[in-house]
């Protein structure tokens, strides 16, 4: 059950970072070590949070993958397209979850549909990434995304506990 809750939180948070926040929130900065991103207590102006998190994620992934110039030239435009497709489905999923539909079965079916769409995108892009990168780097890519999200959630949780929430 905890695993399910954790995954749901990850998905919801990743959807949230796709939006530019209207409230002031903590800014993500490059990691101090190559394997662990860290939050910076500085507060940015309103908006731009999604772009800052995206940039931090890209820096983290870049360090993890250690791309050659040729790989980077081909990889980053494809990765950007991949993220845009994932974000589009996550937005639809989030909108579905925010509906207070009286038909719970319909809402669950849509939730399952959006989850399958996310998996389909990941599979399709896995094959596209494999045309650019060796299989080991594709594996590192997916693991790095998960590590980044896990660390982000952990740090946000720790900050929330310190704030008494």
Residue 76: CB atoms within 10 Å: 14
Per-residue pLDDT of the chain (165 residues; tens, 9 = 90+): 444 454 454 544 444 444 433 333 333 333 333 344 443 433 334 446 688 999 999 999 999 999 999 999 999 999 999 999 999 999 999 988 877 666 778 888 888 999 999 999 999 999 999 999 999 999 999 999 999 999 999 999 998 888 886
Provide the whole-model pTM: 0.66
Q: What are the CA-CA distances from residue 75 to residues 24, 37, 70, 129, 157 (Å)?
A: 32, 21, 9, 7, 32
Q: Which structural domain range is residue 56 located in? A: 2-162
Contact 63, 147 (CB under 8 A): no
Instruction: Work out whether the CA dihedral 82, 84, 90, 92 comes out positive or negative.
Output: negative
* Those residues with Cβ within 8 angstroms of residue 139's Cβ, 6 or more apart along the chain or in another chain: none
Domain count, the chain: 1
What local confidence, expressed as pLDDT, does residue 101 receive? Answer: 63
């Amino acid at each position: 059950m905890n695993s399910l809750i954790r995954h749901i939180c990850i998905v919801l948070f990743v959807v949230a970072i796709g939006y530019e926040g209207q409230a002031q929130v903590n800014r993500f900065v490059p990691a101090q070590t190559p394997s662990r991103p860290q939050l910076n207590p500085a507060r940015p102006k309103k908006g731009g949070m999604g772009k800052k998190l995206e940039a931090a994620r890209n820096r983290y992934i870049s360090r993890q993958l250690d791309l050659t110039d040729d790989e980077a030239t081909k990889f980053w435009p494809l990765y950007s397209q991949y993220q845009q497709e994932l974000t589009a489905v996550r937005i639809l999923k989030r909108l579905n979850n925010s509906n207070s539909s009286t038909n719970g079965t319909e809402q669950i079916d849509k939730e399952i549909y959006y989850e399958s769409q996310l998996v389909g995108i990941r599979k399709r892009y896995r094959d596209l990434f494999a045309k650019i990168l060796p299989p080991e780097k594709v594996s590192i890519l997916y693991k790095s995304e998960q590590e980044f999200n896990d660390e982000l959630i952990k740090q946000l949780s720790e900050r929330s506990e310190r704030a008494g929430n």
